[in-house]
Amino acid sequence: MPHPLAARTVVAPARETFRLVILERGGTEVLVVPDGDRLVLPSVEIPVWQRLADSLTAAAKVEWGQEIICLFTPAIAFIPEGCQRDDYQVAEHWRTTGEPRKPIRWETILSLSEHSFADHSDYSAIAQSVAKCAAEMRTPTGPFARPGWFNDLRDWVESAIAPRGLHISENFRQCNAGPSFSLVRFETDAESVWFKAVGEPNQREFAITCLLAELFPSYLPPVLGVRPDWNAWLAREIAGTNLGEAQEVALWEQVTTALAKLQIESIDHPARVLGAGACDQTTNALSGRVGPFMELMARLMEQQTKVPPAIMTGKEILQLGNRIQGALEALSSLGIPDTLGHSDLNPWNITVSRQSCRFLDWAEAHVGNPFFSIQYLREHFRHTKGAGSGAEARIIESYCRPWRQVISSVVMTEALGLAPLLAVFAYAAGGNAWTNENTFREQATVGYLRSLTRRMHHESGRLTDRRTPCPL
């Protein structure tokens, strides 16, 4: 889900086409579609900005009657001149589940040539994909790009859940795929389980999740097994409502109360959470990033060629940096303890029921001021429900209530007033992505950082008017 701190306008088609290289029998056969006296690869049209593997596997099942396991998106090194440039996805055939929209058949790859296909790029994609699969068998780039990995995963999941009296069924859903990333939901003869594996740049999520599940079992899904060699874990599916689909404000109140309680419980554990790989967003750490970040943004503003949006001047950037430093000093003087935080705290990462509230996807975990996290969730609430409503005051009250046992209402009012500015700065500069020169080769990233900086400028001007009272 997009973070609401800064808006990005993305112009893109609503759907995109992928051609599928579906391999069978150890990669010796490929699924093709007869097209006159030539062949084409099966293709699917899927929505943009959704999980690729989830969309591709669902479309292959509906349109071609085939259940597939996504392996990787090939880097097609050569597409013959004049051929169409659709994207490709390499997949392994799992089973046939229905009728295809057109006749299909399996062909031995050795029997094919460039002239077998109506579009020569299809043959090029097959040849390069088979070569990549063979290379993965010899020297894997990750556990989930080689043919046959899904059988190994099913065996491991079965062994992990068998002691609990569970057994997996034939039904599963592959949501995310890549050489070192995987997200799969398995149905069992009782509740479902989720397998997740992570690689760079989110590899730290494995250690963070394992630690948080140990320290705060009431707030994360129970972990049923781990595979350190895959940076992977298996978790029980939590019954409840995804907050992103919730209509009742009472559920948001329940979540903000649970968030406050989780953070209060984490007060004694910042060193362990940082040691697991969480970002350091303490006021001292953020203070040291103000100067370098503002220097970078002055350079990036100078490089902007289109107006609008407005280009901030060097004087405005300097003034903004001074205001952020002052706000950090003011926040530090309040004496609020550092806690666990979540920089990607959006409603789709939260499951809530009458019995519990569970927080998911901890790749963006940090240690810092707790009021940054409630600010992120508050922004999502405003984006969903609208700003300035009585309901917004209710969720802030629900968050403040547990904190009254730790800090005063006056301190909370000050922290809530400083959070709109400092939470944006922490989101932009709290990690290390902005220090990587390669990041700035992507104009979308550069534009997003400029947008965040303009948002900081806006919030700094409103700081004195936005001290949110914490209900007494």
Give Dmax over CA atoms of the chain in angstroms.
79
Please state which of the four CATH numbers 2.40.10.220, 3.90.1200.10, 2.60.120.10, 3.60.15.10 is assigned to the domain occupying 241-465: 3.90.1200.10
Q: Determine the pLDDT at residue 74.
A: 87
pLDDT in tens, the chain (472 residues): 455 665 444 445 588 999 999 999 888 999 999 999 999 999 999 998 889 999 999 999 999 999 999 999 987 655 545 545 569 999 999 999 999 999 999 999 999 999 999 999 999 999 999 999 999 999 999 999 999 999 999 999 999 999 999 999 999 999 999 999 999 999 999 999 999 999 998 999 999 999 999 999 999 999 999 999 999 999 999 999 999 999 899 999 999 999 999 999 999 999 999 999 999 999 999 999 999 999 999 999 999 989 999 999 999 999 999 999 999 999 999 999 999 999 999 999 999 998 899 999 999 999 999 999 999 999 999 988 777 778 999 999 999 999 999 999 999 999 999 999 999 999 999 888 888 777 677 788 899 999 999 999 999 998 855 555 565 5
In the chain, where does the domain assigned CATH 3.90.79.10 lie?
A: 15-138
What pTM does this model have?
A: 0.90
Q: Which fold would CATH assign to domain 15-138? A: Nucleoside Triphosphate Pyrophosphohydrolase (3.90.79)
Closest CA to 56 of 98, 95, 19, 27: 19
**Distances, alpha carbon 51 to alpha carbons 11, 46, 193, 349, in Å:** 18, 10, 19, 15
H/E segment holding residue 412: helix 409-429
Q: Give the span between the Cα atoms of 363 and 365, in whole angstroms.
A: 6
**DSSP strand E in 148-298: where?**
168-177, 182-188, 193-197, 223-227, 232-236, 241-242, 279-281
Q: Is the separation of the CB atoms in 220 and 326 below 8 Å?
A: no
Strand duo 365-368 + 279-281: pairing = parallel
pLDDT at 62: 97
* In contact, 434 and 296? CB cutoff 8 Å: yes
Q: What is the CATH code of the structural domain delimited by 149-236?
A: 3.30.200.20
CA–CA distances in Å: residue 242 to residues 175, 346, 385? 16, 10, 16
pLDDT value, residue 32: 98
Domain with CATH 3.30.200.20 in the chain: 149-236
The DSSP symbol for 144 reads: T
Beta carbons of 312 and 301 less than 8 angstroms apart: yes
* Range list of β-strands (E), 101-237: 105-108, 168-177, 182-188, 193-197, 223-227, 232-236
Q: How far is Cα 115 from Cα 124, in angstroms, rounded to an integer? A: 11
User: Which segments of the chain belong to CATH 3.90.1200.10?
Assistant: 241-465
Residue 206 in contact with residue 198, Cβ under 8 Å?
Answer: yes
